[in-house]
Amino acid sequence: MALLFKKQQDNASVARKETSSLLSVSASGGEKPSPFITSNKENQMILENVKVKWARVGSNPATKYASDETEWTVDCEVSAEQSKEWVAKGFAQKERFDPESGVPFVKIKRNTHFNKKNPVSGAMEKNEISPPFVKDKYGDNLGDTNIGNGSVCNVQYMERPWEYAGKTGITATLVGVQVMTLEEYEGGGSGDEFTYAERPTATITETDDSDENIPF
- Written as tens digits, the pLDDT of the chain (216 aa) is 443 333 334 444 444 344 333 333 333 344 444 556 656 577 889 999 999 999 999 998 999 988 889 999 999 999 999 999 999 999 999 999 999 999 999 999 999 998 888 888 888 888 999 999 999 999 999 988 999 999 999 999 999 998 888 899 999 999 999 999 999 887 655 445 565 566 676 655 555 555 555 454
CA 44 to centroid of chain Cα atoms: 17
- Which pLDDT score, from 0 to 100, does residue 164 have? 84
Number of H helices, E strands in the chain: 2, 11
- Helix %, strand %, coil % of the chain (to 5): 20, 35, 45
Q: What residues pair up with 70 in beta bridges, in sequence order?
A: 63
Cα distance between residue 18 and residue 197, in whole Å: 65
Neighbours of 53 (CB within 10 A): 19
Fold of 41-186: OB fold (Dihydrolipoamide Acetyltransferase, E2P) (2.40.50)
The three-state secondary structure class of 3 is: helix
Q: Where are the domains of the chain?
A: 8-36, 41-186
Cα distance between residue 111 and residue 131, in whole Å: 9
Cβ-in-10-Å burial (0-12, 13-18, 19+) of 121 comes to: exposed
- Which pLDDT score, from 0 to 100, does residue 133 have? 95
- Which pLDDT score, from 0 to 100, does residue 29 have? 42
pTM: 0.68
- Which pLDDT score, from 0 to 100, does residue 115 have? 86
- Which pLDDT score, from 0 to 100, does residue 14 have? 40
- Which pLDDT score, from 0 to 100, does residue 138 have? 96
- Which pLDDT score, from 0 to 100, does residue 215 have? 52
Which residue in 40, 32, 35 sits closest to 16, CA to CA? 40
- Which pLDDT score, from 0 to 100, does residue 175 have? 96
Q: What is the CA radius of gyration of the chain?
A: 28
CB-based contact 39:156 (threshold 8 Å): yes
Neighbours of 5 (CB within 10 A): 9
Q: Strands 62-63, 124-128: parallel, antiparallel or unpaired by DSSP?
A: unpaired
The three-state secondary structure class of 88 is: helix
- Which pLDDT score, from 0 to 100, does residue 60 have? 86
